[in-house]
Amino acid sequence: MEGYDVVTVDDHKIGKIVGESGDFLIVEQGTLRKTQHPLPREFAHVDDAEQQVRVTVAKEIVSDSPTLDGDLDEQAVKEHYGLTDTPGPAAEGSALPESSPALLGDRVAGIDERDQEER
């Protein structure tokens, strides 16, 4: 897999695989100022025929991830990609505003049903 191009979900070629470390692939970006970013394997799908690794995250997510400067800080990388076991805002339900259609679905359906019953 080393040397494979890395292509994001938004079809940007963002670098090449230069190594592996545990549950992470190491993506190298840049031409003059190269940086290396660990990418969790959960987000990578290997296409051997095309010699590509397609990732299910956007270019900015990978580019903004912690860089590999010596030792790999797995916890920081997992936090960046939302893979920590600690409950964050999304787990607490605060990620969606109360007026979100995802939360209003049942309430709106209930209102429609009550209107029908009253008529």
DSSP state letters, 17-58:
EEEEETTEEEEEE-SSS-EEEEEEGGGEEEETTTTEEEESS-
Show me where the domains of the chain are located. 5-86, 89-119
In which element (H, E) is residue 7 found? strand 5-7
Which CATH number is 5-86 given?
Answer: 3.90.50.10
Q: What is the pLDDT of residue 117?
A: 54
For residue range 12-66, what is the model confidence (pLDDT) as tens digits? Answer: 999 999 999 889 999 999 888 899 999 999 999 999 999 999 999 989 999 898 8
User: Comparing 3-12, 40-49, 98-107, which segment has the lowest mean pLDDT?
Assistant: 98-107
Question: pTM of the full predicted structure?
Answer: 0.67
